[in-house]
Structure 1
Amino acid sequence: MNKLYSVLKYLGYFALLYILAGAGINGAIFPFAVGLFLSLVWCGEKCYILAPLFIAATLLHGFSVPALISSSFTALSILLITGIHYKLKKQVKLSLYFVYALISQIGFVFSEVYFNSAVLTTFLSVVGSVLFMQCCNQIFSAILVRGFAYKLSSLEIISACVLLGAISCGLTAYNFWGFELIKLFAVFMVLFSAYTFNVSATLVVGITMGLGSLLFANNPELLAPFSLFSLTAVTFKSKYKFIPALALIAVDLCLGYFVGVYYSYSYISVIPCVLAAATFLFIPNRILENVSGVISSNSNSVAMRNVVNRSREGLTRRLYNLSEVFGEMDYVFRSMIKGGMSKEEVKEILLGEIKEKVCADCKEKNYCHRVCQAETEKVLSELVNCALERGRTTLLDVPSHLTSRCSRVSNLVSVINNLTAQYKQYASFMNNLDASRVLIAEQLSGVSKIMKNLAGEVNKNVIFDAGRENTLIDELTYNNIVCADAVIYEQNTDVTSATLVVRNEDAEKVKIPSIVSKVCGNKMVVADSVASSRSGYRVLTLKTAPKYDVIFGSSSCTKEGSEKSGDCFSLIRIENDKFMFALCDGMGSGEKAEKASSLAIGLIENFYKAGFDNDIILSSVNKLLSLNREEVFSALDICVMDLKQGIADFIKMGAPNSFIKHESEISMVESGALPLGIVQDAPPAINKTVLSTGDYVFLCTDGITDSFESNEKLKEFINNLKATNPQTLAETLVEKAVENSGGSAGDDMTVLVAKIFEKA
């Protein structure tokens, strides 16, 4: 099957070469066959097959010594050049190929000047062949490389029109006793275009073929008829194909017999129209529909884009409904929280249990609880208080007047201790159960908010920009970047997005963001790059770049004698315009501290990536760590930068002070709050700061801050640093901290430095 396809393909190339060999502008300038041959070689077709086909097509059209010399020299020189590049495994650049194209026509120049003394027409033929080669490069690259599944750029459409005009010019040369091949070709193409292209494209096809015929003999005889053919076809187009076919034949008869447009007309002259119409009628409707479907899929479908927005509306409703579901689940879990009893309520219950277990069958019961009720109640209450506060009570806590009259003092103390221990165990269980319910409720509330925010984002209609899409494809094509498709859309006035389908070898080209930025009118950056469903292509997503960007530096030093550092840090991009860097210092040093800080950082990273709010993230992480049976304490220092507005949120839980180095001064972000994992409901210390371009943010663990005598000394040292590279700044600060500690780290030391700068 592949072999048959290859044979048919090269037969088609030969037919095109033969037609274009006779396509001359006013019978004097012949640039088209050479240009087509050079273009096919450039587009990767086999030169060793095309070379003899080109020579044969040229000589079959009109054998002569100049034709033999010129065609042979062109074919053999290109064959030699491509062979050398293939042997050296070096790809031919387009600029160099233009030079080769000119060199390959030295034989043509020599033969024309020597035999015919045609200097001007020879010059125009050479220049025209190179220009036509570039036109063919555009259209053949689009078809052979991208295929028909993607829309053509404006430049490629113009190139296709030039090729169609050249073919029409060549076919005009063939007139057999009134049977014109150009009319056969034109009628078929007009009918085919009417059922596969839109109205304007069909009109352009007819006019282009008329202009091609005009080039051949400087005769406009066919320009008006072909234009009228197109207009007739689109006017009479219906589901019955024979109607426009008959209409075209009728128009041709009227123009020939009654209007007298043609110089000569006979019954033979109408045969090409009849044959073309008959051929078109034999094409199954299914094929026309498939071709039309492929071509129309390349157009800017308003309906398709409307479907996108309608789908977003449906998705918005579902997201809002899901948000309500998670909100209700949050309410249900919060309503299940029992809460703890007051101390007085606990004492009352415990006192009742004590009386039941110790005094129920005692013969002195009436005396103790009736005669001496107030005194007995006071003693028992004090003993229960003692057990609740200290964990247990002893015989020494029992007053002497009770010991003298009660024979069950030892049993009383034992029962009080057992009951308070049971209560504490129960209270701990209930507290943990309530904490778990609160934790789940907070997560459900967070998911509900995320769903609601997503619904708000999706609810905004996407505004597509078809005009800029075509301009973008043209610009990329001009820069030798094959773009199969492009979509530009806006969700709001601040953010523009562009999605491109480009070849794998073009996906990494640095020109792409600058070209997209030029077309979109603002700075664009690549936000995502994924493999396309079509082999050999990637899908690039570019978005409006935030005003600022950030670079980082980090440096660490493990405590002397410790195998692992208890410090852990993270640098992640949360969104296109938000960056988070966090520093976590686990309690102590070594493997246990490292595990604690890694656990906290991992949780925080994932929560932020999921889109949860700061309050929910820190509250949830704190509760999760405090539920751990082991004492897992971690100092947490987070900075979230909004690169669009230049605002930084500092979130601290037990972390030391942070510092912001400005151009001429330094400011301090003070620490606060308890570390993670100590108290479940400990709130974080949050500070919001506006940053300027050139500011440096320093996050340090206590190993760094404790090595300096005071915060003022640390501020002074940072302020006097002259380096501009964040990595150098981080390393210098760690080195100074180690030096202050006597040459060895007394604690784990870590520094993160971030520099914010305005994008050019």
Structure 2
Amino acid sequence: MRGLAWINRSQTMPWDFAKRLKAKIEKRIIQSGVLLFMIGFLLGRAFILSEMMPFALPFFASVAFLRKDRAKLAACALLLGSISQNIDQILFIILAIVLYGFIRKLTMRWEKHLLKTVPLLVFSASVSARVILHFLNETMTTTNFFIAAVEGGLSAILTVIFLQSIPLLSTKSLKRSLKNEEIICFIILLASVMTGTIGWVLYGLSVEHILARYLVLVFAFVGGAAIGSTVGVVTGLILGLANVSSLYHMSLLAFSGLLGGLLKEGKKMGVGIGLLIGTLLIGMYGEGNPANMGPILLESLSALFLFLITPKSAISQIARYIPGTNEHSQEQQQYLRKIRDVTAHRVEQFSALFQTLSLSFSPLNFSEEEDQNERDIDYLLSRVTAKTCQNCFKKEQCWVKQFDKTYTFMNEIMQDREKVTADYLFQKEWDKHCVKAKKVSELIHHELSHYEASKKLRRQVQESRRLVADQLLGVSKVMGNFATEIQKERDNHYQHEDQIIEALGEIGLEVDHIDIYSVKQGNIDIEMTIPFCKGHGECEKVIAPLLSDILDEAIIVKHEDHAHYPHGECRVMFGSAKAFIIETGIANAAKGGAWVSGDSHSLIELSSGKYAIAISDGMGNGERAHLESNDTLELLQKILQSGIDETVAIKSVNSVLSLRTTDEIFSTLDLAILDLQNASARFLKVASTPSFIKRGDQVKTIQSSNLPIGMIQEFDVDVVSEQLKAGDLLIMMSDGIYDGAHHVENKDIWLKRKIREMETEDPQEIADLLMEEVIRTRSGQIMDDMTVIVAKIERNLPKWQTIPRYSFATNRKKAQ
């Protein structure tokens, strides 16, 4: 194993060393100023229209503003470049730099935002320097002044461009993608630098033409036709202005960038073929003589050779900052994944924090509570003895020689005061044992009242701690589930993807992209990108039924985003259909036919695949009772939708309502939680009337007993579980229905009989008939607020039938 590890390290060491060496060289070149010097040298040689030098001063001004410590290096590079090209122009560069520095010092006193004024300073310095030189040479004419103004304007524009593009020449990785404007500015900087190579010839080939075509190849391969043609136009225009005789190269570069971008699917050779085709087509007509095609074609081949030997890592590094590329998408996904992981980690930390807080608020266990009670009794007896036995002459006799007997007597007096008083023998022995028997007994009874109050208060605190602990634990579980949901990652389900793409292709539907997050039974989660769907329901009518057959489960469209323009993309999310659905019917009436009822009801669809039905009856009638019951249901709905367990939710509602007001106005709660995957039901009844389940000709009663919501701060919630089936009817009602029948002794039997005798299975009809039966027994009088909810459990049958997958290959085999 050690040998294998050494071999693996020896294999990776050269690659790591080369990678570190490359990074170190790049860092040295940039930090030492070599790259900046090379750019300045070439810009010092750059001309346009044979006499304008609009590149030198903007470069110096930008470097002086961005890196003041590199200003002298930039000035020296510009002067050396000017000397190598045309020594007569060195005076213009020197004079322009001096004037720029002088004007900048003057304006720094009044202008705080120097960035906005740098282009204006460059314009002033460039025009002034050119005018002064013309005046000294006695060549000042209107034409020369106009040319100086144009040169100054170009210098101001290039200053704005260089201020945005020079910071990109850094070893620091950008944390964002480049905007289109920044890409163009960077290309203008590179093209401006290339103008400094005009006149350089290598084996009869023009260096600037090779570099320009190489630049077009790189960006056409990275960004496609749009970026490639744009780079070709910009580069060709700048080089054409520097050398008017080769202005036709702008067409060559633009057309080559367009063709190369269109052929980028053919990798590097495809882009190279685009350049060669553009060279052949434009070169023949641009030169006007096919005989001159040799050098032009060799220049393109040289650029193609440089492009082919360019490392893939360098091109990928450029592509990371170009919007629309795969590398840029991966970079964005990696960034989003990092943000997601950080967010999930923070949520998990909060979940752990709430769990720790829950443990700290957890009440004492039974043994700890027993120990606490014993300590409280000891403290009680110690206070009694401090006031009575401390100064008694029999202290040593009672508490040293007869400690157990004295302690037993006092404990008996404390445990059962009435029994001790009625027991003559015990009282006689106690009087004989203690000389202050009456005083000690009275003091024990006095302290005992304080002990009972303290014990009751401690019990309330323990219940409050238990409630807070349950709430914190519920929040911890919700946040833990949320963190898991955030970290939902796209799993590898290549087999299912291939099946789906093949099946859709067989019926003529095209799919651009598929993301399968989960294929678990009952929790399928698939996202799909398809071409413009035109809103005809293809996803619901065709794709979802086909997925149902492939995954052997009912699939429905959960969400669909239609494209708002022709040939756009539609984003569709598919998920598992619930195994059961709930159909409900509701009937309610206020006392005496009033507008406001003290009853409130709510139907809540929870995100966990459950369905909640709740009825709350406020104490009394009218608006005050309605507000009380409505507040109960609203608070319960918010807590349930947050994902907290229903038992904790009811306790939380009870705690809030019991502390909110001192009025003796309470409310009942009848809650049923139905699981739509397996039809299981949990009933939580708080001082509510029984519910009924009708299955065929049988009717079952569901009931439990709890005090009303808000009456006391602590109570235990009885939970009744039942397994329902398709076709079952659940009938829930308030006391106005249950107790409303007049002259009926056994209301439970009467309601069961009425429900059993109903021939209809429509929930709304059953609700209406029940209310009508109750009102009829009262001779048409509504004596109390009445609410009844009937829910029917049915299997969920998709609207569109499952489409079986039809394979042409299988069909051919069967035919053979």
Q: Scaled by the length of structure 2, what TM-score is found?
A: 0.48
Aligned to 2:690: 657
Amino acid at match of 2:736: G
Q: Distance in 2 between matches of 1:421 and 1:564?
A: 47
Contact 1:447-1:612 within 8 A present in 2 as well: yes
Q: Report how far residue 606 of structure 1 moved.
A: 2.1
Aligned to 2:601: 569
Q: Report how far residue 727 of structure 1 moved.
A: 2.7
Q: Distance in 2 between matches of 1:269 and 1:234?
A: 29
1:749 has 2:792 as partner: no
Q: Distance in 2 between matches of 1:400 and 1:270?
A: 135
Q: Distance in 1 between matches of 2:596 and 2:427?
A: 55
Amino acid at match of 1:558: A
Aligned to 2:145: none
1:247 has 2:280 as partner: no
Match of 1:350 among 380, 389, 397: 380
Q: Distance in 1 between matches of 2:291 and 2:354?
A: 80
Aligned to 1:496: 525
Contact 1:581-1:639 within 8 A present in 2 as well: yes
Give secondary structure in 1 for the equivalent of 2:688. Answer: coil
Larger mean CA deviation between 745-754 and 582-591 belongs to 582-591
Question: Within 5 A, what are the aligned runs for 1:179-328?
Answer: 196-197=223-224, 234=264, 247-248=276-277, 267=290, 296=325, 319-328=347-356
Q: Which runs of 5+ in 1 are unaligned?
A: 1-148, 150-188, 203-225, 257-264
Give secondary structure in 2 for the equivalent of 1:441. Answer: helix
Contact 2:732-2:788 within 8 A present in 1 as well: yes
Question: Within 5 A, what are the aligned runs for 1:545-560?
Answer: 545-559=577-591
For each residue in 1:243-285, what CA deviation from the matched residue of structure 2 results, as whole angstroms up to 9, or x when unmatched?
A: 766633566699x9xxxxxxxx9839989x99xx9xx99xxxx
Contact 1:340-1:431 within 8 A present in 2 as well: no
The verdict on how the C-alpha distance between 1:236 and 1:545 changes in structure 2, with shifts beyond 3 A counting, is closer
Q: Report how far residue 414 of structure 1 moved.
A: 7.5
The verdict on how the C-alpha distance between 1:195 and 1:683 changes in structure 2, with shifts beyond 3 A counting, is closer
The verdict on how the C-alpha distance between 1:371 and 1:668 changes in structure 2, with shifts beyond 3 A counting, is same
**Count, aligned residues:** 510
Aligned to 1:640: 673
The verdict on how the C-alpha distance between 1:615 and 1:233 changes in structure 2, with shifts beyond 3 A counting, is closer
Q: Report how far residue 671 of structure 1 moved.
A: 0.9
Contact 2:321-2:328 within 8 A present in 1 as well: no
For each residue in 1:596-643, what CA deviation from the matched residue of structure 2 results, as whole angstroms up to 9, or x when unmatched?
A: 534443333222111122343344445555667666654432222222
Calculate percent identity across the aligned residue pairs.
22
1:718 has 2:746 as partner: no
For each residue in 1:544-600, what CA deviation from the matched residue of structure 2 results, as whole angstroms up to 9, or x when unmatched?
A: 332332232222233459996443322111016321111233455556654553444
Give secondary structure in 2 for the equivalent of 1:491. Answer: strand
Q: Report how far residue 753 of structure 1 moved.
A: 1.4
Contact 1:633-1:678 within 8 A present in 2 as well: no
The verdict on how the C-alpha distance between 1:500 and 1:627 changes in structure 2, with shifts beyond 3 A counting, is farther
1:614 has 2:646 as partner: yes
Q: Distance in 2 between matches of 1:231 and 1:460?
A: 36
Q: Distance in 2 between matches of 1:558 and 1:516?
A: 49
Give secondary structure in 1 for the equivalent of 2:689. Answer: coil
For each residue in 1:304-362, what CA deviation from the matched residue of structure 2 results, as whole angstroms up to 9, or x when unmatched?
A: 66776776666655554443333222222227787476766655543443444467668
Contact 2:525-2:573 within 8 A present in 1 as well: no
Amino acid at match of 1:581: I
The verdict on how the C-alpha distance between 1:308 and 1:736 changes in structure 2, with shifts beyond 3 A counting, is farther
Q: Which runs of 5+ in 2 are unaligned?
A: 1-178, 180-215, 230-255, 305-314, 549-553, 799-816
Q: Distance in 2 between matches of 1:735 and 1:244?
A: 85
Q: Distance in 2 between matches of 1:560 and 1:374?
A: 70
Q: Report how far residue 404 of structure 1 moved.
A: 13
Q: Distance in 2 between matches of 1:506 and 1:415?
A: 90
For each residue in 1:204-229, what CA deviation from the matched residue of structure 2 results, as whole angstroms up to 9, or x when unmatched?
A: xxxxxxxxxxxxxxxxxxxxxx9xx8
Contact 1:237-1:244 within 8 A present in 2 as well: no
1:581 has 2:613 as partner: yes
Contact 2:587-2:787 within 8 A present in 1 as well: yes
For each residue in 1:689-722, what CA deviation from the matched residue of structure 2 results, as whole angstroms up to 9, or x when unmatched?
A: 1320x33221122332233633232122123324
Q: Distance in 1 between matches of 2:475 and 2:505?
A: 40
Q: Distance in 2 between matches of 1:695 and 1:473?
A: 42
Q: Report how far residue 472 of structure 1 moved.
A: 9.4
Contact 1:573-1:579 within 8 A present in 2 as well: yes
Contact 1:488-1:498 within 8 A present in 2 as well: yes
Q: Distance in 2 between matches of 1:506 and 1:582?
A: 41
Question: Within 5 A, what are the aligned runs for 1:36-435?
Answer: 196-197=223-224, 234=264, 247-248=276-277, 267=290, 296=325, 319-334=347-362, 339=369, 346-357=376-387, 384-385=414-415, 419-435=447-463
Q: Distance in 2 between matches of 1:661 and 1:235?
A: 66
The verdict on how the C-alpha distance between 1:644 and 1:424 changes in structure 2, with shifts beyond 3 A counting, is same
Amino acid at match of 1:703: G
Amino acid at match of 2:276: A
Amino acid at match of 1:432: Q
Q: Distance in 2 between matches of 1:340 and 1:746?
A: 51
The verdict on how the C-alpha distance between 1:670 and 1:336 changes in structure 2, with shifts beyond 3 A counting, is closer
Q: Distance in 2 between matches of 1:270 and 1:404?
A: 135
The verdict on how the C-alpha distance between 1:365 and 1:647 changes in structure 2, with shifts beyond 3 A counting, is closer
1:689 has 2:723 as partner: yes
Match of 2:556 among 520, 524, 538: 524
Match of 1:739 among 766, 772, 776: 776
Q: Distance in 1 between matches of 2:266 and 2:556?
A: 47
Q: Distance in 2 between matches of 1:290 and 1:374?
A: 90
The verdict on how the C-alpha distance between 1:377 and 1:193 changes in structure 2, with shifts beyond 3 A counting, is closer
Amino acid at match of 2:362: R
For each residue in 1:126-168, what CA deviation from the matched residue of structure 2 results, as whole angstroms up to 9, or x when unmatched?
A: xxxxxxxxxxxxxxxxxxxxxxx9xxxxxxxxxxxxxxxxxxx
Give secondary structure in 1 for the equivalent of 2:519. Answer: coil
Contact 1:232-1:248 within 8 A present in 2 as well: no
The verdict on how the C-alpha distance between 1:197 and 1:419 changes in structure 2, with shifts beyond 3 A counting, is same
The verdict on how the C-alpha distance between 1:531 and 1:314 changes in structure 2, with shifts beyond 3 A counting, is farther
Give secondary structure in 2 for the equivalent of 1:732. Answer: helix
Contact 1:196-1:291 within 8 A present in 2 as well: no
1:452 has 2:489 as partner: no
The verdict on how the C-alpha distance between 1:345 and 1:737 changes in structure 2, with shifts beyond 3 A counting, is farther
RMSD: 6.2
Contact 1:233-1:248 within 8 A present in 2 as well: no
Q: Distance in 2 between matches of 1:529 and 1:737?
A: 49
Give secondary structure in 2 for the equivalent of 1:496. Answer: strand
The verdict on how the C-alpha distance between 1:729 and 1:306 changes in structure 2, with shifts beyond 3 A counting, is farther
Q: Distance in 1 between matches of 2:351 and 2:362?
A: 17
Give secondary structure in 2 for the equivalent of 1:698. Answer: strand
Contact 2:585-2:789 within 8 A present in 1 as well: yes
Amino acid at match of 1:602: E
Q: Distance in 2 between matches of 1:500 and 1:673?
A: 53
For each residue in 1:9-58, what CA deviation from the matched residue of structure 2 results, as whole angstroms up to 9, or x when unmatched?
A: xxxxxxxxxxxxxxxxxxxxxxxxxxxxxxxxxxxxxxxxxxxxxxxxxx
Give secondary structure in 1 for the equivalent of 2:362. Answer: helix
The verdict on how the C-alpha distance between 1:564 and 1:425 changes in structure 2, with shifts beyond 3 A counting, is farther
For each residue in 1:152-207, what CA deviation from the matched residue of structure 2 results, as whole angstroms up to 9, or x when unmatched?
A: xxxxxxxxxxxxxxxxxxxxxxxxxxxxxxxxxxxxx9999756449xx99xxxxx
